[in-house]
Amino acid sequence: MNAVPPLPRFGANYTPSVGWFHHWLDFELDDVRRDFDSLAALGLDHVRVFALWPVFQPNRSMIRGRAVEQLGQLVDAAGERGLDVAVDALQGHLSSFDFVPTWLTTWHRRNMFTDVDVVEAEARYVETLASALSGRSNFIGMTLGNEVNQFSDRPHPDPDPCTYEQAGLWLERLLAACERGAPGKLHTHSEYDAVWFQPGHPFTPAHASRLGGITTIHSWVFNGTAQRHGRTGAATVHLAEYLIELSRAWAPAGRPVWLQEVGAPAPLIPAEHAGEFLTETVENVLSCEDLYGVTWWCSHDVSRSLADFPELEYGLGLLTSEREVKPQGKALAEIAGRVRAGTAPGPVRRTTALVLDVGDAETAPGRATCAPGGDFYEAWARLAGDGVRAGVVLADRASDEGYVAGRGIGEVVRVEEVLGR
């Protein structure tokens, strides 16, 4: 199904202002309503919410009905304020903390991607959530979990190793469970950028760009981009655009792409420049075709009353933890309004494409070239700095005249040409 809306959507990853994601332990619907009021006032149209896995499924054979009911209440509260809701299930990993049920750890240590009983329990869990929400018109669909791929490989301190084939089977099985629970909704999965950059990582660009109803992009300039290129460098303000175009090299024609996470992390993006960074980043992303929407990380700041977060996590919100609008909140509201008024930049046809050679397209053993400092990355960034809106074409498709013409590409350039080698 093609989920590309007439205009890109604008939303926020919902971080509760009271209690952060621990709010599920002491759920107060009135607090949620007030948070959603503050987001609706910005003119946003959706939120992405996170069910803490150990709270919802504390035992392999137990899914807490009360927690599922509270999730439904949250979705209904959003709908009353004109907000649609996407739900992540396997949390999984959030803001440097892991939330993994005790039935997967220590004395019960099992692999979340390959253990037969575990995968069956995960499938039952995501299907239960999807089924409970399927009848709600403002329910967008399920994301399997937030950057769950970080559990599968280094640098996680205690990974659950799996192969490329096992990762694909895991994704397919859980996506099928979501579809059983809520047929026709927009079900997908998300990865952090190891999927694009890390050779040997079991989750691959082919998985990200071909499985599920939409490709999700998580763009964070602390991945080495801002460190190398600075706050205003072309690579920095075009990173989200770059990742979207990178994904399109693997994707079938017309596949929608969702910038599901993007934020302004201090000190690389100082607070006084966060609004400017948001505007530049989003305007660049609007140049991409088949854009589903932009979902900023995050809605509300983490309260300073909560301990042990990395410093940058306390200031990523569009609003403070007291629900006061910050410069980035004003900036997102302004650009969303311009898009709806038809006065913001729109998609452009990318007539120039940079050739990407990562070896086998399915497993991408050479994908380090796409990472900050890699030759392909630096060449694309140089083109962006020169004002070229470059697409990306895989090396094994670059000589396919029909494919290239079908994408509207008139010129194919190679990395060595751009870098002068």
Q: Cα–Cα distance between 35 and 351 in angstroms, integer?
A: 43
SS3 label, residue 189: coil
Short-list 79, 85, 89, 73, CA closest to 126: 89
Short-list 227, 226, 246, CA closest to 358: 246
Structural domains of the chain sorted by starting position, each given as residue range(s) with its CATH number in brackets: 9-341 (3.20.20.80), 352-419 (no CATH)
Look at strands 46-52 and 291-296 and give their pairing: unpaired
What string of pLDDT tens digits covers the 421 residues of the chain?
457 899 999 999 999 999 999 999 999 999 999 999 999 999 999 999 999 999 999 999 999 999 999 999 999 999 999 999 999 999 989 999 999 999 999 999 999 999 999 999 999 999 999 999 999 999 999 999 999 999 999 999 999 999 999 999 999 999 999 999 999 999 999 999 999 999 999 999 999 999 999 999 999 999 999 999 999 999 999 999 999 999 999 999 999 999 999 999 999 999 999 999 999 999 999 999 999 999 999 999 999 999 999 999 999 999 999 999 999 999 999 999 999 999 999 999 999 999 999 999 999 999 999 999 999 999 999 999 999 999 999 999 999 999 999 999 999 999 999 999 7
| Tokens (6 digits) for 386 | 């020169």
Residues 6+ apart with CB under 8 A from 72: 132, 133, 136
Q: Can you give the length of the chain in residues?
A: 421
CA 208 to chain CA centroid, Å, is 11
Q: Cα–Cα distance between 131 and 184 in angstroms, integer?
A: 12
- What is the pLDDT at residue 1? 46
- What is the pLDDT at residue 350? 97
CA 232 to chain CA centroid, Å, is 23
